[in-house]
Chain A
Amino acid sequence: DTAVSQTPKYLVTQMGNDKSIKCEQNLGHDTMYWYKQDSKKFLKIMFSYNNKELIINETVPNRFSPKSPDKAHLNLHINSLELGDSAVYFCASSPTDYYEQYFGPGTRLTVT
């Protein structure tokens, strides 16, 4: 009965590869987010989508491209992976902007 789910939980890949992380929420929320937690455990927003429309796009390299096929899904595609992309990526959702956010379990990405 998971509210916000992400796949995969762990992702190990080599530099230069392209990978995707999937996120799904079954809460009926309109807004979804991607966050990055770096090695120092600091969490920072990357993107937010409201009803499939991009709302926030932080200063993230354009190798990162979010895609929202529908309101319940927000996937993150990363091209040409670099060592510095190693982090834990969290997906979250909220009913709309400025409401309580619910987080997924995270995807630990390791780039070798």
Chain B
Amino acid sequence: KQEVTQIPAALSVPEGENLVLNCSFTDSAIYNLQWFRQDPGKGLTSLLLIQSSQREQTSGRLNASLDKSSGRSTLYIAASQPGDSATYLCAVNSDKLIFGTGTRLQVFP
């Protein structure tokens, strides 16, 4: 049974810092992995999708990597801004999307 874990559960950093969010999963038989952002009281915004054959994906200040064999993915956020404050969710697609528990990020000025 696929299980997805995200650490840390919460993170508070000053503006401008580079940071890494971690996601681990127990079953390496995946089709892809998707990173989402959720703002309080809002829906999910897809940030990056990494197919199982890929090692990383980049979008602006975001870079996501995937190491399928070790069951890990990281989301790197460069030069963090207060507008990056949100909950970040990692989801692994085996035969369905399994979500992690999320990392709540606060970036203060």
Given contacts A101-B34, A104-B43, contact A48 B101 (CB under 8 A): no
- Give the total number of A-B pairs whose CB atoms are below 8 A apart: 44
Minimum CB–CB distance for A87 against chain B, Å: 14
Task: Report the count of interface residues on B (CB-CB < 8 A).
Answer: 21
Cα distance A43–B49 when bound, in Å? 18
- Taking a contact as CB atoms under 8 Å apart, the answer to whether B42 and A100 are in contact is no
Chain A residues near B89: list those with CB within 8 A.
43
Instruction: Using CB atoms, name the residue of chain B closest to A90.
Output: B43
In the complex, B85 has a CB within 8 A of chain A: no
Which of chain B's residues has its CB closest to A98's CB? B31
Partner of A105, one of B42, B97, B101: B42
- By the criterion CB–CB under 8 Å, are B43 and A103 in contact? yes
Interface size on A, residues (CB 8 A): 20
The CA of A98 and the CA of B45, in the complex, are separated in Å by: 17
**Contacting residues of chain A (6-44) with chain B, CB-CB under 8 angstroms:** 33, 41-44
Is B99 a contact partner of A106 (Cβ separation < 8 A)?
Answer: no
- CB of A24, distance to nearest CB on chain B (Å): 14
Interface string of B91-108 (1 = CB under 8 A from A): 101011111011000000
Within 8 A of B (CB), among A35-85: 41-45, 48, 56, 58
Query: 9 tightest CB-CB pairs across the interface, nearest first?
Result: A103-B44, A98-B31, A105-B43, A43-B99, A100-B49, A103-B43, A106-B43, A45-B96, A56-B96
Assembly CA distance A104 to B42 (angstroms): 9
- Which B25-52 residues sit within 8 Å CB-CB of chain A? 31-32, 34, 36, 42-46, 49
Task: Among B95, B97, B101, B102, point to the contact of A101 (Cβ < 8 A).
Answer: B97
